[in-house]
Structure 1
Amino acid sequence: MLDKNDENVKKTEDSTKEVANETPKVEEVTSFEEVNEVEEPLKETVKIKEVEISETTNRVEESTEKVVEENNNDINEAIDEIEKSVAEDAENSNSKEEETPKVDYSKATLEALVVALKKVISNNPVQKIKSQVDAIKNAFNQKFGALLAEKKEAFLAEGGNSIDFQFSSPIKTEYNALLFSYKKERDAYYKDLEKKLNENLEKRLKVIEDLKTLIEDADTATMYKQFRELQDNWRAIGPVSKTRYNDTWKIYHHHVERFYDLLHLSNDFRDLDFKNNLEEKLKIIKQAEALAEKEDITEAFKELQELHKTWKEDIGPVSSEMREEVWHKFSVATKKIHDKRHQYFREMRSKYQEIIDKKLEIIEVLNNYNTSNNTSHKDWQESIKHVEQLRQLYFNAGKLPYNKSEEVWQKFKAATKKFNSAKNLFYKQEKSSQQENLEKKIALIEIAESLKDSEDWEMATNAMKKVQADWKKIGHVPRKFSDDIWKRFKTACNHYFDRFHEQKNAVSKEQQVAVDAKKALLDSLKEKESHTKESVLEAINKWRALGVLPRNVRHLESKFNKQVDKMLESLSLDKQEVAMLKFTNSLDSLVANKDFRKLDSEQMFVRKKIDEVNREISQLENNLGFFSNAKADNPLVANVKKQVEEFRVDLNIWKEKLAYLKGLDY
Structure 2
Amino acid sequence: MLEEKNDNLSRQENEADGNLENNATASDQFQKEHLEATPETEPSDMPAEDNVVVPAEASPTDTAMDTKNQMALDAIADTNAEESEDETLKDRHEISMQDYDTLSLEQLVEELKNLVSNEKVMSFKDHIEEVKKAFLAKYNHLVEEKKEEFLAENQDPTEDFQYHSPLKTQFDKFYSQFRDTKNTHFKSLQTNLKTNLENRLAIVEELKELINPQENIKDTLKHFNDLRERWKNAGPIPKDKYNHVWNNFHFHVENFYDYLHLDREARDLDFKHNLEQKQKIVARVEELVNEADINKAFRELQDLHRIWKEDIGPVSREHRDEIWNKFSDLTKQMHDKREVLFENQRGTELENLEKKKEIIAKIEVLATEKVNAHSQWLAQIEKVEALRTAFFSAGKVPSDVNEETWASFKTAVRNFNSFKNSFYKDIKKDQNDNLSLKTALVLKAKELQESLDFAATTPIMKQIQEEWKQIGHVPRKYSDKIWKEFKDACNHYFEKLKEQKNEENSEEVEAFDNKKAYLETLREFQLSGDHKTDLDAIKLHIETWKNFGKVPFPRRHIEGKFNKILDALFEKLSLSKKDTDMMRFANRMDHLSESHDTRKLDNEKIFLMRKIDEVQNEIFQLENNIQFFTNTRNAKKENSIVLEVRKNIAIHKESLDVWKEKLKQLRNLKIE
TM range (shorter): 0.5 to 0.7
The alpha-carbon deviation at position 279 of structure 1 amounts to 1.0
Which of 549, 556, 559 aligns to 2:561? It is: 559
Is 1:323 aligned with 2:320? yes
Is 1:130 aligned with 2:128? no
The alpha-carbon deviation at position 160 of structure 1 amounts to 5.8
Distance in 2, matches of 1:455 and 1:271, equals: 119
**Structural mapping, 1:350-365, within 5 Å:** 350-365=347-362
Which of 157, 164, 181 aligns to 2:160? It is: 164
Computed over aligned residues only, the root mean square deviation of the Cα atoms, in angstroms, reads 5.8
Aligned pair in 2 of structure 1 residues 147, 486: CA closer, same or farther (>3 Å)?
A: farther
Of 472-481 and 279-288, the range deviating more from structure 2: 472-481
Distance in 2, matches of 1:138 and 1:528, equals: 99
Distance in 1, matches of 2:292 and 2:191, equals: 38
**Structural mapping, 1:231-270, within 5 Å:** 234-250=231-247, 266-270=263-267
**Structural mapping, 1:145-164, within 5 Å:** 157=153, 164=160
Contact preservation (8 Å) 1:583, 1:657:
no
Deviation string 1:603-648 (CA, Å, 9 cap, x unpaired) is 779989x99xxxxxxxxxxxxxxxxxxxxxxxxxxxxxxxxxxxxx
- TM-score calculated relative to the size of structure 2: 0.65
Is 1:494 aligned with 2:490? no
| Counterpart for residue 373 of structure 1 | 371
SS of residue paired to 2:64: coil
Distance in 2, matches of 1:52 and 1:332, equals: 28
SS of residue paired to 1:283: helix
SS of residue paired to 2:468: helix
| Counterpart for residue 481 of structure 1 | 481
Aligned pair in 2 of structure 1 residues 141, 542: CA closer, same or farther (>3 Å)?
A: same
The alpha-carbon deviation at position 252 of structure 1 amounts to 5.3
The alpha-carbon deviation at position 285 of structure 1 amounts to 0.7
Deviation string 1:280-331 (CA, Å, 9 cap, x unpaired) is 1111111111222323322221211111121122222222121121112212
Contact preservation (8 Å) 2:285, 2:330:
yes
Deviation string 1:498-517 (CA, Å, 9 cap, x unpaired) is 58757987969xx999x899
Contact preservation (8 Å) 1:285, 1:329:
yes
Which of 284, 287, 312 aligns to 1:287? It is: 284
- Counterpart amino acid of residue 291 in structure 1: L
Distance in 2, matches of 1:516 and 1:265, equals: 133
Distance in 2, matches of 1:131 and 1:198, equals: 26
Of 494-503 and 177-186, the range deviating more from structure 2: 494-503
| Counterpart for residue 662 of structure 2 | 664
Aligned pair in 2 of structure 1 residues 335, 75: CA closer, same or farther (>3 Å)?
A: same
- TM-score calculated relative to the size of structure 1: 0.66
**Structural mapping, 1:434-473, within 5 Å:** 437-454=434-451, 460=457, 463-473=460-470
Is 1:593 aligned with 2:592? yes
The alpha-carbon deviation at position 114 of structure 1 amounts to 8.7
Distance in 1, matches of 2:62 and 2:299, equals: 29
Distance in 2, matches of 1:605 and 1:337, equals: 109
Contact preservation (8 Å) 1:445, 1:488:
no
Contact preservation (8 Å) 2:112, 2:174:
yes
Deviation string 1:349-382 (CA, Å, 9 cap, x unpaired) is 2233333433443333334335843644x66655
Contact preservation (8 Å) 2:8, 2:60:
no
| Counterpart for residue 76 of structure 2 | 82
**Structural mapping, 1:540-619, within 5 Å:** 547=546, 550-552=549-551, 555=556, 556-563=558-565, 585=584, 589-590=588-589, 593-594=592-593, 597-598=599-600
The alpha-carbon deviation at position 332 of structure 1 amounts to 2.6
Aligned pair in 2 of structure 1 residues 417, 185: CA closer, same or farther (>3 Å)?
A: farther
Contact preservation (8 Å) 1:9, 1:250:
no
SS of residue paired to 2:366: coil
- Counterpart amino acid of residue 76 in structure 2: I
Contact preservation (8 Å) 1:445, 1:492:
no
| Counterpart for residue 313 of structure 1 | 310
Distance in 2, matches of 1:65 and 1:455, equals: 107
Of 343-352 and 107-116, the range deviating more from structure 2: 107-116
The alpha-carbon deviation at position 543 of structure 1 amounts to 6.0
Aligned pair in 2 of structure 1 residues 200, 423: CA closer, same or farther (>3 Å)?
A: farther
Of 84-93 and 494-503, the range deviating more from structure 2: 494-503
Aligned pair in 2 of structure 1 residues 394, 285: CA closer, same or farther (>3 Å)?
A: same
- Counterpart amino acid of residue 559 in structure 2: E
SS of residue paired to 1:593: helix
Deviation string 1:31-81 (CA, Å, 9 cap, x unpaired) is xxxxxxxxxxxxx7745745799xx99xx9xxx999696376654443343
| Counterpart for residue 623 of structure 1 | none
Contact preservation (8 Å) 2:535, 2:573:
no
| Counterpart for residue 628 of structure 2 | none
Distance in 2, matches of 1:342 and 1:656, equals: 116
**Structural mapping, 1:47-446, within 5 Å:** 47=48, 49=50, 70=64, 74-93=68-87, 95-97=89-91, 99=94, 119=117, 127-131=122-126, 133-134=128-129, 137=132, 141=136, 157=153, 164-166=160-162, 174=173, 178=177, 181-182=180-181, 184-189=183-188, 191-192=190-191, 195-196=194-195, 198-199=197-198, 202-203=201-202, 205-206=204-205, 209-210=208-209, 213=211, 234-250=231-247, 266-370=263-367, 372-373=370-371, 375-376=373-374, 384-398=381-395, 405-421=402-418, 437-446=434-443
Of 434-443 and 138-147, the range deviating more from structure 2: 138-147
Aligned pair in 2 of structure 1 residues 406, 543: CA closer, same or farther (>3 Å)?
A: farther
- Counterpart amino acid of residue 85 in structure 1: T
Aligned pair in 2 of structure 1 residues 70, 448: CA closer, same or farther (>3 Å)?
A: closer
Deviation string 1:203-257 (CA, Å, 9 cap, x unpaired) is 464266347x36x888888877776666555555444444444445555555666
Distance in 2, matches of 1:238 and 1:248, equals: 13
How many residues are matched?
580
The alpha-carbon deviation at position 471 of structure 1 amounts to 3.1
Contact preservation (8 Å) 2:201, 2:245:
no
SS of residue paired to 1:293: coil
| Runs of at least 5 residues in structure 2 that lack an aligned partner in the other structure | 14-33, 615-650, 668-672
Aligned pair in 2 of structure 1 residues 490, 245: CA closer, same or farther (>3 Å)?
A: same
Aligned pair in 2 of structure 1 residues 236, 567: CA closer, same or farther (>3 Å)?
A: same
Of 105-114 and 388-397, the range deviating more from structure 2: 105-114
The alpha-carbon deviation at position 342 of structure 1 amounts to 1.6
| Counterpart for residue 621 of structure 1 | none
Contact preservation (8 Å) 1:91, 1:197:
no
- Counterpart amino acid of residue 129 in structure 2: D
Deviation string 1:106-147 (CA, Å, 9 cap, x unpaired) is 676899789768745xx55x7545246436645764786588
Contact preservation (8 Å) 2:7, 2:315:
no
Aligned pair in 2 of structure 1 residues 489, 247: CA closer, same or farther (>3 Å)?
A: same
Contact preservation (8 Å) 1:117, 1:178:
no
Contact preservation (8 Å) 1:367, 1:415:
yes
Distance in 1, matches of 2:305 and 2:380, equals: 59
Distance in 1, matches of 2:10 and 2:156, equals: 70
Distance in 2, matches of 1:290 and 1:501, equals: 95
Distance in 1, matches of 2:86 and 2:182, equals: 18
Aligned pair in 2 of structure 1 residues 86, 654: CA closer, same or farther (>3 Å)?
A: farther
